[in-house]
Amino acid sequence: MPNSLNPFELIARRWQPSARFVERAALATVVMAVVIVVTGGAVRLTQSGLGCDTWPKCTPSSLTPTADMGINGVIEFTNRMLTYVLCVFVGVLIIAARARTPVRRSLTRLGWAQFWIVMGNAVVGGIVVLTGLNPYIVSSHFLLSSALLTVAMVVWQRAREGDGEPRDLIARPARQLTWLLVGATLALILIGTVVTGAGPHAGDAREVHRIPLNWQEITQLHVDFVYIVLGLTVALWFTLRAVKAPAAQRRTVLELLVVLLAQGVIGYVQYFTHLPEVVVGIHMLGSCLVWIAALRVLLAQRERAALPAAVPAPTGDHETVQPEPAASSR
């Protein structure tokens, strides 16, 4: 009696997505990861963090916001619903990667990693509400979103390459400098979350606990790391030029430099204009773009070739017969 097929195998028998579709599905998860960060920032910047004052319901007696909760309840509830939209995009990616032949286990595993990060972050979001916007948990909420963006970027890259062993495209010292650049960029983002946790945008009009640090001093540390990351970016570009690295790798470094400079301008504007909400929101978008650009630099420095196509096993109801040397390929 044949084994029963799981739902993914049933879908694979009826639908064979193209490699292009899988790649676009992966890119869509990258876009949605950015959207969820920006909309989460909008919740805080509009003081809607406690628009729904409990979780998983919006109020103890209602799943959705009530009329007396006003626009803040609508904004917070809409952000919650975007989690389900994100799950749909991740689900499409998982199904497409699983349905495609040959099956690429690396893509499906990374897709499931995205799904569980989304689920974990939904729980953390609930804890954020239940703890009255505790700044440390709010920071972890953002960092999990950054982790989701990281995995989404890796999936997008893997969807455009094979499953062979990775091969470095640049010299090892330049590769090490790149890792240092990515580490410094990550530290820059981490310090940015501390600035947010200590700054004036608490996420609600009521008194909300903040990280007990001077946010202006932390902001200065954040600026110092901006210069460190800029310096490492310029150094990496000159290093790649000196070792005659391919133009594609040098171009990703220039893209990162442009994004960093734009983000720096936005940062100074928001500081000298006393942190207007719109500019802070643009700066949050910029932080996502900086991280994406840094990951592109790293991921562009190696490649994976496609694995050789598997030879189909002989089939039939009788014993296996050795093929004739001059067998026709028809």
Q: Where are the domains of the chain?
A: 1-163, 167-305
Report which of 92, 225, 106 is spatially closest to residue 163, judged by C-alpha positions.
106
Report the predicted TM-score, pTM, of the whole model to 2 decimal places: 0.87
Whether residue 265 is predicted with pLDDT greater than 80 in this model: the reply is yes
Residue with tokens 């650049």: 181
Average pLDDT of every residue of the chain? 87
**pLDDT tens for residues 11-43?**
767 778 888 999 999 999 999 999 999 999 999
Local confidence band at 53 (pLDDT 50, 70, 90 cut-offs): confident
Instruction: State the SS3 of 69-81.
Output: HHHHHHHHHHHHH
pLDDT score at 77? 93
pLDDT score at 295? 97
pLDDT score at 157? 94
What are the tokens at 52?
């729904």
**pLDDT tens for residues 126-138?**
999 999 999 999 9
Residue 282 CA to residue 300 CA, distance in Å, equals 27
Query: Could you give the dihedral angle defined by the CA atoms of residues 127, 118, 106 and 93, in that order, rounded to the nearest 10 degrees?
Result: 170
Local confidence band at 307 (pLDDT 50, 70, 90 cut-offs): low
> What's the mean pLDDT in 271-290?
92
Strand partners of residue 59: 62
Local confidence band at 312 (pLDDT 50, 70, 90 cut-offs): very low
What are the tokens at 301?
């420095």
Angle between helices 105-130 and 70-99 (to 10 degrees): 160
Report which of 93, 90, 103 is spatially closest to residue 9, judged by C-alpha positions.
103
> What's the mean pLDDT in 224-228?
95
Report which of 148, 249, 136 is spatially closest to residue 190, judged by C-alpha positions.
136
Residue 93 CA to residue 34 CA, distance in Å, equals 17
Residue 44 CA to residue 200 CA, distance in Å, equals 11
Whether residue 324 is predicted with pLDDT greater than 70 in this model: the reply is no
pLDDT score at 321? 44
Report which of 152, 156, 147, 158 is spatially closest to residue 105, judged by C-alpha positions.
158
Local confidence band at 186 (pLDDT 50, 70, 90 cut-offs): very high
